Amino acid sequence: MVLLAGTAAPFWDNPVFWVGVAFAILIGVALQQGAGRAITKALDDRASGIKAEIDEALRLREEAHALLEDSKRKHAMAEQEAADIVASARQEAEALAAEARINLKDSVERRTKLAEEKIARAEAQAIAEVRATSVDLAMSAAQHLIAAKAGTSSAELIDQSIRDLKGRLN
């Protein structure tokens, strides 16, 4: 008689032994009835499902990689376009600044010329006024001198001559 370790009873009296025997019989019957094919089919289906998931994951990975490359390319193009826009803006700003400098220089030259012309006119007018005043003073002095020497009868003749002289000088 064979005894299980730690027990005094024979092994066939142990319920664990009978559960093991029943399990072995169940497996044997299941295999004979075609359960092996069903188990094999279920395992194959599971394997093909896992393979499909792996293939889908690989396809998604490649698609993500392609999107990443496209995004990198678009980013590089956007950076280049931004750099081109900045360079164009700098060129336009420099051109506008140069044009503004030229316009300012022309404006300053025009204003300077206008100021010089105004000064020349004022100077000519002042000279004319000084001449006119000088002539008036000279004539007045001459009239007083002649009137003092010639008397009152010749005063009218002198006045007429002075008026004629004024017309000729102005």
Under 8 Å CB-to-CB from 17, ≥6 apart: which residues?
11
Asked whether residue 104 is domain-assigned, the answer is: yes
What is the tally of structural domains in the chain?
A: 1
55: tokens are 């293939």
User: Is there a domain that residue 2 lies in?
Assistant: no
* 8 within domain boundaries: no
- Asked, for residue 128, whether it belongs to a domain, the answer is yes
CB 142 within 8 A of CB 165: no
Report if residue 35 sits inside a domain: yes
Dihedral of CA atoms 137, 142, 143, 144 in degrees, nearest 10, equals: 90
Please identify every stretch of the chain with a pLDDT value under 70, giving residue numbers as ranges.
1-8, 147-155, 157, 168-170
Residue 1: inside a domain, yes or no? Answer: no
- Beta strands (DSSP E) in the chain are none
Task: Tell me which residue range forms the domain holding 78.
Answer: 13-169
What was the pLDDT predicted at 49?
A: 95
Question: Considering the domain boundaries, does residue 3 fall inside one?
Answer: no
pTM over 0.75: no
Query: pLDDT tens for residues 112-157?
Result: 999 999 999 999 999 999 988 888 888 888 777 776 666 555 667 6
